[in-house]
Chains A and B, each alone.
Chain A
Amino acid sequence: MSEPNDVRDDVIVSRRGILVGGAASAAVSAIPASAGAAAPQPGPATMTVSFSVNGRKQDLVLDTRTTLLDALREHLHLTGTKKGCDHGQCGACTVIVDGKRINSCLSLAVQHQGDAITTIEGLGMPDDLHPMQQAFIRHDGFQCGYCTPGQICSAVAVLDEIKAGVPSHVSENLTGPMRPTNMELRERMSGNICRCGAYSNIAEAMADVAGVDAAGERA
């Protein structure tokens, strides 16, 4: 029976890696506690999955339990995408899959066969920043920076959602075109938590990229 870490031939075995493997083997031998778990629990299963990340095709052999977030961080070493709560509540793990932002912590890697995934590294690198990354710097849209990759991936996708006419909770008119007002930007970013409280500057950075003032009018 192979351990999840055995398939990571490209990974230097770290102390943390060994701890993760130990936890996984302990979990396998534990007695199922849930009412829904009447069936005997199988041992770890591995599968192959192929998807593109930032335009580059990736073929991985993964434990089926591996989330897209862990595949990106632990197997492809794209550590720009962050693990915050690991339960879809904080948005630090936000990536863009086939043009749509999702929480990569609440998605299994094997669900993404054939998908095109964009992470913060794919939006822009220090020598070639995405306009949203530049705007976050210009407007001081972060302090500690931990939530920032998720904020930026989310912000880029939010402007696309507004252009595509996706309504939000604060849209007064459901059938008209959607506008990037300050209220709209704040509501649409509510799935990205920033404990440093850079929210107002993040909304200003987004308005800058959208080319509007706080009322959503063309600047």
Chain B
Amino acid sequence: MKAFTYERAKTPAEAAAIVARMPGAKFLAGGTNLLDLMKLQIEAPSHLVDVQDLGLDRIEKAPDGGLRIGALVTNTTLAADERVRRDYGVLTRAIVAGASGQLRNKATTAGNLLQRTRCPYFYDTNQACNKRRPGSGCAAIGGYSRQLGVIGVSKSCIATYPGDMAVALRVLDARVETVNAQGATRTIPIAEFHRLWGDTPHIETALAPGELITAVSLPAPIGGRHLYQKVRDRASYAFALVSVAAVIQPDGSGRVAFGGVAPRPWRVEAAEALLPQGARAVVTRAFAGATTSSENAFKVPLAERTLASVIAQAKG
């Protein structure tokens, strides 16, 4: 690990100001992903601004009937919150499908959104990777691509956004609240938070340098059956090959997003409108234009079968 200095910020705006001012500074929340990457020198911040004292660790009822989740609420606390379990079951299901108990106790809501890809070529510092070293190329294209992306990817990078929580947040139309170095706040719809990175895969989110996530808010509950199905190489503690987050209403309409297939949670509203016609119609539309390799072409039919299973569960 490269050497760094460390401090604890007192307010969100102060934290944002420090990171905006100091080249090489980064926010530190739970640290479960950042420290892992620092040990491999994939991340090498010169200064860490620990945000644990900012009071962003509460889940509050919002005036619109929704919930406002502080950026520092741990994955376990969020998944176990009584209101989330009752009204936003897809979110609890998605969170507990990811990582391990130890990691969920430490990982935070904002940190989970900002976790980096698990593409093996991103992790191997001897390999070309446009995300790790812009302009160096992409060893994943033509390489071992079984885990990698099939839709929304580019000629520069075929990595996926690896998380589960954000896939559920996408079907719940969550909003990401931020503050910047000047203290100005803004709200980013989750649909626009993770970028389709094109030829700049090292820029993964809509956040400006130094912009700090303060909360994730959920609109009022929408009812329906909340389901999250994750297909992976072992039964627990593995990243998704394909996952499906869905909220299905009694009339068969609903919302659906796919994980493990794209640079961001993959939701196509025009495709989910076809839910009453069944999984094939939805997946054919949602994955139109997919660019698969011989190793990951299975993801498209797997997405269809996983969605079919979810639809069957919703009827049961």
Contact = CB atoms under 8 A, between A and B. Distances in A.
A93 to B, nearest CB: 9
B89 A174 contact: yes
Interface in A96-152: 100-103, 106-108, 110-111
A91 B99 CA distance: 12
B166 interface: no
A42 B101 contact: no
Contacts of B202: 35
Interface string A13-34: 0000000000010011010111
B262 interface: no
Contacts of A166: 76, 79-80
Contact of B41 (A33, A110, A168): A33
Interface residues of B, number: 53
Nearest to B2: A41
A36 interface: yes
Given A101-B105, A103-B103, A44 B3 contact: yes
Contact of A35 (B28, B36, B96, B132): B132
Interface residues of A, number: 56
B6 A34 contact: no
B182 interface: no
Nearest to A40: B46
Contacts of B6: 45, 47, 64, 108, 110
Nearest to A91: B102
Given A37-B44, A86-B39, A64 B103 contact: no
B93 A174 contact: yes
A211 interface: no
Contact of A88 (B28, B79, B80, B102): B102
A67 interface: yes
A193 to B, nearest CB: 9
B44 A34 contact: yes
B195 interface: no
Contacts, number: 162
A190 interface: yes
B79 A191 contact: no
Given A35-B133, A88-B36, A174 B92 contact: yes
Nearest to B52: A111
Contacts of A27: 1-3
Contacts of B39: 86-87
Contacts of B22: 39
B73 to A, nearest CB: 13
Nearest to A189: B101
Nearest to B100: A191
A158 B101 contact: yes
B144 interface: no
A169 B99 CA distance: 11
B134 interface: yes
Contacts of A45: 3-6
B100 A91 contact: yes
Contacts of B100: 88, 91, 190-192
B143 interface: no
Nearest to A104: B102
Interface in B98-126: 99-103, 105-106, 125
Given A42-B3, A190-B235, 17 more contacts: A27-B2, A34-B44, A36-B24, A39-B47, A41-B46, A45-B4, A64-B5, A100-B76, A103-B32, A106-B36, A106-B103, A107-B106, A108-B35, A166-B76, A166-B80, A187-B235, A190-B236
28 contacts: A27-B2, A34-B44, A34-B132, A35-B132, A37-B2, A37-B45, A38-B23, A39-B24, A39-B46, A41-B24, A42-B46, A63-B3, A64-B3, A64-B6, A65-B1, A91-B100, A91-B102, A102-B105, A106-B103, A107-B31, A107-B106, A108-B6, A167-B85, A167-B96, A168-B96, A188-B101, A191-B99, A191-B100
Interface of B: 1-6, 22-26, 28, 31-32, 35-36, 39, 41-48, 50, 52, 76, 79-80, 82, 85-86, 89, 92-93, 96-97, 99-103, 105-106, 125, 132-134, 202, 235-237
